Amino acid sequence: MGLFRNDPQRVVLDSHDVEPKATQPPWSLWADGFGKLGIRAIQIIVVVAVVGGIIFALQFLTLVTIPLTIALILACAFAPVMGWMRRRGVPAVLATVLTLLAITLILTGIGWLIVWAVRDQWDELYDQAVDGIQDVIAWVQTLPFAPTQEQLDGWLEGVLDFITSAQFGSGALAGVSAITNFVTGFVLMVTILFFFLKDGPQMWEFVLRPFRGSNYMRARRIGDKTVGVLGSYVRGTATVALVDAVGILIGLLILQVPLAIPLSVLVFLLAFIPIVGATLAGIIAALVALVANGWVNALLVVGVVVLVNQLEGNFLQPVLMGRSMKLHAFVILVALTVGTVLGGIVGAVLAVPIAAAAWGAVQVWDGVDLPARWARPKRPVAG
Q: Which of 361, 363, 352 is nearest to 327 (CA)?
A: 352
Angle at 151 between CA 150 and CA 154, to 5 degrees: 90
Q: Indicate whether 45 pLDDT > 90.
A: yes
Q: What is the mean pLDDT of residues 100-120?
A: 76
Taking residues 130-138, report their average pLDDT.
64
For residues 54 and 143, the model is more confident at 54
Strand residue runs (E) in 117-157: none
The per-residue pLDDT for 324 is: 46
**Distance spanning both ends of the chain, measured CA to CA:** 74
- The C-alpha atoms of residue 104 and residue 358 are separated, in whole angstroms, by 29
**From the DSSP assignment, how many helices (H) and strands (E) are in the chain?**
14, 0
3-state SS class at 263: helix
The closest of 283, 278, 269 to 310, measured between CA atoms, is: 278
- Does 172 score more than 90 pLDDT? no
If pLDDT is split at 50, 70 and 90, which confidence band does 216 have? very high
Burial of 183 (0-12, 13-18, 19+ CB in 10 A): exposed
Residue 281 Cα distances to 165, 231, 269, angstroms: 33, 25, 9
Domains of the chain: which residue ranges? 61-207, 214-372
CA-CA distance, 378 to 365, in Å (whole number)?
17
Spatial CA neighbour of 332 closest among 376, 281, 374, 277: 277
- Contact status, residue 316 vs residue 243, Cβ threshold 8 Å: yes
Per-residue confidence (pLDDT) for residue 339, from 0 to 100: 84
Percent of the chain with pLDDT over 90: 5
Distance CA(212)–CA(210), nearest Å, equals 7
Highest mean pLDDT among 4-18, 39-53, 152-166, 331-345: 39-53
| Angle, CA 166 vertex, CA 161 and CA 169 arms, to 5° | 100
Whole-number mean pLDDT of the chain?
A: 77
Across 290-355, the runs of DSSP E, i.e. the strands, are none
The phi-psi region of residue 378 (left if phi > 0; otherwise alpha if psi is between -120 and 50; otherwise beta) is beta
CA distance 166 to 158: 14
For residues 225-235, b (16+ Cβ closer than 10 Å) or e, as one string? bbbbbbbbbbb
The residue among 13 and 28 whose pLDDT is bigger is 28
- pLDDT value at position 219? 92
Type of residue found at 92:
A
The per-residue pLDDT for range 235-286, each reduced to its tens digit, is: 888 888 888 888 888 998 898 887 788 888 888 888 888 777 878 888 888 8
Given this model, what pLDDT does residue 3 score? 46
Between 218-222, 231-235, 313-317, 366-370, the lowest mean confidence (pLDDT) is in 313-317
pLDDT value, residue 245:
87
- Which residue would you say has higher pLDDT here, 61 or 200? 200
Contact 306, 257 (CB under 8 A): no
∠ CA 142-129-289, nearest 5°, is 95
pTM (2 decimals)? 0.69
The span from the CA of 268 to the CA of 287, in Å, is: 18
User: Among 99, 62, 273, which Cα is nearest to 198's?
Assistant: 99
